[in-house]
Amino acid sequence: DIQMTQSPSSLSASVGDRVTITCQASQDIYNYLNWYQQKPGKAPNLLIYDASNLATGVPSRFSGSGSGTDFTFTISSLQPEDIATYYCQQYDNLLTFGGGTKVEIK
């Protein structure tokens, strides 16, 4: 099974800050990685697919990069509505989610 390790598990940042989350796969998953946002009490929402492609309607302040085993998710300028937990998900071998990163406003 492929394990996905996200870090940090939580972070606190100010509005306008650049926020970066990393996701590491236990083996090479090429670019087979998605990122989701889950706001409190809501279902997850697809943000990034295939490691770096922005899903329809997602603001351009969100971005993703990486390949192989190391991936990065970035919010270029944190907004109050970005308060959520973010998950990476690999699909090289079925599906596995990372443990999540909870983003809060400082």
Question: Is the Cβ of residue 2 or residue 13 nearer to other proteins in the bound state?
Answer: 2
Which one among 14, 16, 81, 94 touches other proteins, defined by CB under 8 A? 94
CA–CA distance, 39 with 100 (Å, rounded to integer): 12
Q: How would you classify the pairing of strands 70-75 and 53-54? A: unpaired
Which one among 16, 43, 60, 106 touches other proteins, defined by CB under 8 A? 43
Cα 102 to Cα 7, 10, 13, 91: the distances in Å are 10, 4, 11, 22
Q: Which residues bind other proteins (CB under 8 A)?
A: 1, 32, 34, 36, 38, 42-46, 49-50, 55, 85, 87, 89, 91, 94-100
